[in-house]
Structure 1
């Protein structure tokens, strides 16, 4: 029985790499004081801000803040996309390109255009996201 419990706890524990990614993301996004930051198994970084509504300006600022990672040599490996959500997790924005686009964003003359090209909005007032 102890072996089964140990195996189950290992299977559901975040890897060191995931934990480092989440901690680095929290550091990068600390000025927005996120209510939570987590990384799903399929590479979605979920950033929940303590706001009723996430405006496009807030979203762009969060993504640009996240993209400081390569410039600061901070590892955010495994992030395939970034979900920025309101405190109820019912409204938000999805950046579908993840950390792979950060160099392009950091070198772009208009980063908002690059971010917008990989963005979709989400609203689900009944079930959250």
Structure 2
């Protein structure tokens, strides 16, 4: 227990733990209720420009990076499945298992189901 208490806090962890302060402008005098003409004047003097949109760029960039990484992983998996399928077809051909009469009806059905599943995984986008 004592060892945990005396461990130094790393700088990058200390910054994450520090509470964030938000700078806010505080009015010098409390506002009770503004007269109606003052409200109209404020609205009339306000610029006609739209407010600046909120910026979520760091989160959007991180999300786009994750999405690109996941798409790359899916593409690699599809390529691996296609290569494995080609290898298994070549192996079946070399062993003579590709002939229809050597396979039972159930084995042909299972092979057709797996082939259809692999084709969907390879060629359909996610």
- TM normalised by structure 2 equals 0.22
Asked which structure has the greater CA Rg, the reply is: 2
